[in-house]
Structure 1
C-alpha cells in the first residue's frame, strides 16, 4: 500500500476505538491504548518499540499538563466549597440585570470558572440557572439552559483552564500562555454570538415552552443532603457538607466576602496572563518567567484558597474536598495521557509526513481536517475530550511544520469536538433533567446550540488564521 498504509491503518485504528467504546463498552482510555498499539504494529514497528512509544507518549503529555490539571481541579473545587459561585451570580443579577444575565453567566462558566471540575460546576450552577430562568423574562428558562450548555462545553474545549484545552495545548506543544491569549477571547466571543443567535431563534418560534419545558418540580438528581462532619461537639458550626447529585461540596455557614473568595482565582489568572504577555513581548526575566509559569500561578492560588478555607470551613473539610477532587480527576488524567500515546505512535509511523505533504500548503486545510475528524469522532463516541485529543493527535507530529499556528490547530480540534452533543453524552441528560427541559428542549439548547457554537468557532479560527 506504500504511503497509503499509515492512512488506512489509522482509519482502522480509529474505527476500532469507536466500536470498542460503543459496541463492547470498553473504557475510552483502554480503547485508545489498544488503538495506538494496533497502529504501531500494523505499520511495521517492532512490538516492543510500539509499547515504548505508547508509554513515552503518555509520560510526555502528563509531564506537560498532569500537574496543571490536578492543581486546577483542587483550586476550583475549593473555591466552590467557599460559596464563591452563588455570590458571584447574585452580584451579576444585581449589576447587569436580567437581560444580560445569560451572557455573563455563560461567559464566566466558559472562562474563569473552568478551574472548577465540570461535574461539580454543573451541579453548583444548575440550581441557580433553574431558579433565575423564570426571572429574566420570556424564554428565560431556554436562554439559561443554553447558557449553561455553552459555558460548560465551550469552556472545556476552547478556554484555559478547561481540562480539554490543557490537554490540547500539551499535545500540540503550545505554550499555555499562548493558548490562554487565543482561547480565552475565542471562547467568550463564540459563547456570546451563539447565545445571541439562540435568543433570536427562540423569539421567532424555535422554542415552544409547552413542549420544551417541564413544570417546576423537585429533582431527585439535584437533591441536597447535608451533614456537619468535622465540627467538634461544643464548637461553633462552620459549615456543612452538601452532596448534590453525587458531587460533594462544603458549604460554609459564614462564607467569606466575594472579593476574598475569588482572590485566589484572580491571582492565578493574573500570574498566568503576565507570563503570556511577557512571552509574547519577548521580555526575558528569571523572576517574571518563574512567577508567570502556569504551575506557579495555580500553586499560589491554591495556597491562598487553602488559607481562606482553613478559617471558614470546619476542621478536616479541606482534606475531604481534596479527596473528592482526586477521585474526580483520576480518570481525566488517564484519558489525557493516552491521547499523548496515540499522538506519539502517529508520529512514529510517519503519518504526519503524509498529512504535511497533503495539506501543508493550505493554511485552511489542516484546520478543516482536524475539525472534521473531531466532529465525526464526537458524533460516534459522545466524549468531547476524547474526540478532541484523538483528532489533534493525528496532526500533532507535524503541527509545527504546517503553514498555520499550532494553537489554531488545537482550537480547531476543540471546536470540532463540540459538534452534535447528543444522547450519548452524560452532560446532555444532566442538563435536560436539572434545568427543567424535556428531551425535545434539550436537543435545542444543547445539541443544536453547541453545534452552532462549533461552527461559529471554526469560522472565527479561520479568520484568525488569515491575520496571524
Structure 2
C-alpha cells in the first residue's frame, strides 16, 4: 500500500537525520529514491523524478529566496535595521519599550531570516532592557516570538515560500493571510506569555564576549523613513498586486501590478532600491555592496539545497502516483485537511528539528488534499507553517541559538522558547481554522 511506503520513507528520514546525523539535503534525496523504488519505479526512473523535482523547485524559488537574503543582508550591513529599532523605541518611550521591540522585530522579520534577525536584534534587546531597567527576557522573548513567527508564516521567507509552491498557492494572498495570523500568534506567544513569569525569572546575566556588533555612528545610518520603506517594499508591491486582483482584476493598471507584484520581480525591484538606499546613498562603493551580496548568497546555499531536496521528494510522490492514493483516502474523510497538514508538520518538526524539512515534507504528503477536498491552498501553506514551528527542542538549531544568546540552561530554554513556539503554532492553527470559515 502506498501509505506504507510514505510511512516507511518518513521513518527512514528520521533515522538518517536523528541516528546517523546525516545532512537534511542528502537524507531527503535518499528517502525520495527509496520511496520511488518501493512504489515500483526503477532506480533510474526514481532518479529522473528526483532531478525533475530539484530543477522545478529551484527554478521557481531561487530568485525569491536569494533576493530575500540579499535584501536582509543589505539592511543589516547598512544599519537600516538598527535605525528602525532605535527610532521606534524612542518614539514609544520607556514604558512601552516591549511594544516597540515587538513591532521592530515584526517589521525587520519580514526581510531578515530568523538567525540573522537574532544576531541583529539581540544586542539591541540587551541595550533596551538595561536602559529601561526591565528584565532581559521581558524584551527578548517577544522579539524572538515575532522573528520566528514571521519566519514560519510569511513569504518571502524560504519555508512558507517553498511550501506555497508545493500547494500552488498565491504568494501575495499567502503573505497577507500570514501576516493576519502572525500578529495574534506572536502577541500571545511573546508579550502575553511573559506575563505568566515572575519578574526575577525573566532576568538573566548578559553573556560577555558573545557579541561584536558593529557600532554605527548617527551620520552613518540611513534615515528612518527610507529604511522602513525599503524593508517593506516587497510586501507593498506583492500586496498591491493581490489587492488589484481582488478588487479590480480588469483594471488598466492590472497588467502593471501583476508584473511588479510578482514575487520574483518585487524582490528584484526591492534589491535594486536597497542597493541605492542602503548602499550608494550612504557613500558605499559598489565593490563593498557586492561583497554583501556575495555573503548573502553563500549564507543561503544550504537552505536552498534542503528546499530543493524537499521538492524532489514531493515529485517522487507525484510520479509514483502516491498523491492520487492519498487523495482517494481523504475524499471520504471527515478530518480537516488543515488539521491533518498541521499535525504531519508538527510531528516531523518535533522528530527532525528542522522547520523547513517539516514544512516541505508535510506539504509533499498533503498536496493532493487541495484538489481532493477543495481546501484553500493558502491556508494549507499556513497550516504547514504553523505545524513546522511547534515544540522546538534539543534537535533544533534555533533552540541552541536562543539558549546561547540568552545564556540559559536547557530547562529555562524549554520553559521559555519551546513553550513559546508551541503557543505560536497552536494560535496559528486556530487562526487558519477561523479564516477557513470565511474563505
The normalised TM-score by structure 2 is 0.92
1:233-272 alignment runs, 5 A limit:
242=214, 254-272=220-238
Q: Distance in 2 between matches of 1:341 and 1:172?
A: 14
Asked if 1 retains the 8 angstrom alpha-carbon contact of 2:205 and 2:407, the reply is yes
TM superposition shift of 1:137: 5.7
Paired with 1:141 and 1:132, the residues of 2 have a C-alpha distance of 8
* Structure 1 gap ranges (5+): 225-241, 243-248
Query: How big is each residue's C-alpha offset from its partner over 1:42-83, in whole Å with a ceiling of 9 and x where there is no partner?
Result: 011222221121111122222222110011111111011111
Q: Which residue of 1 aligns with 2:139?
A: 144
Structure 1 residues 106-145: aligned runs within 5 Å: 106-110=102-106, 113-136=109-132, 140-145=135-140
Give the match for residue 298 of structure 1.
267
Structure 2 unaligned residues grouped into runs of 5+: none
Cα offset for 1:360? 3.6
SS at match of 1:412: helix
Could you tell me how far apart the structure 2 residues matched to 1:275 and 1:440 are? 46
Asked if the contact 1:28–1:386 (Cα under 8 Å) also holds between the matched residues in 2, the reply is: yes
The answer as to whether partners of 2:186 and 2:424 remain within 8 angstroms in 1 is yes
Distance 1:344 1:250, change over 3 A: farther
Structure 1 residues 338-347 or 260-269, which shifts more?
260-269
Map 1:194-213 → 2, pairs under 5 A: 194-202=189-197, 205=198, 208-209=200-201, 213=203
* 1:216 maps to which of 206, 212, 229: 206
Equivalence for 2:240: 274
Verify the 8 A CA contact 1:363 1:465 in the aligned structure 2. no
Counterpart in the other structure of 1:312: 282
- Report the alpha carbon displacement of residue 382 of structure 1 after superposing the two structures with TM: 1.0
1:386 shift after superposition: 1.0
Q: Output the CA distance in 2 between the equivalents of 1:250 and 1:90.
A: 12
Change (3 A) 1:35 1:99: farther
State the Cα RMSD in Å.
Answer: 2.3
Match of 2:169 in 1: 174
The answer for the alignment partner of 2:307 in structure 1 is 336
Give the CA deviation at 1:459: 1.1
SS of the residue 2:222 aligns to = coil
Q: Distance in 1 between matches of 2:293 and 2:355?
A: 25
Work out whether residues 145 and 421 of structure 2, in 8 Å CA contact, stay in contact via their aligned partners in 1: yes
Q: Is the 8 A contact 1:364 1:465 kept in 2?
A: no
| TM-score, normalising length: structure 1 | 0.86
Aligned to 1:233: none
SS for the counterpart of 2:408 is: coil
How far, CA to CA, are the matches of 1:107 and 1:359 in structure 2?
40
Deviation at residue 108 of structure 1 after TM alignment: 4.2
Asked whether the equivalents of residues 391 and 421 of structure 2 are also in contact (C-alpha less than 8 Å), the reply is yes
Which is worse superposed, 100-109 or 171-180? 100-109
Residue 175 of structure 1 and its aligned partner are, at CA, apart by 1.4
C-alpha change, 1:89 and 1:361, in structure 2 (3 Å) is farther
Task: Give the paired residue count.
Answer: 434
Confirm or deny: 8 A CA contact 2:98 2:142 kept in the other structure.
yes
Indicate the residue corresponding to 1:50 in structure 2: 46
Moved more, 90-99 or 74-83: 90-99
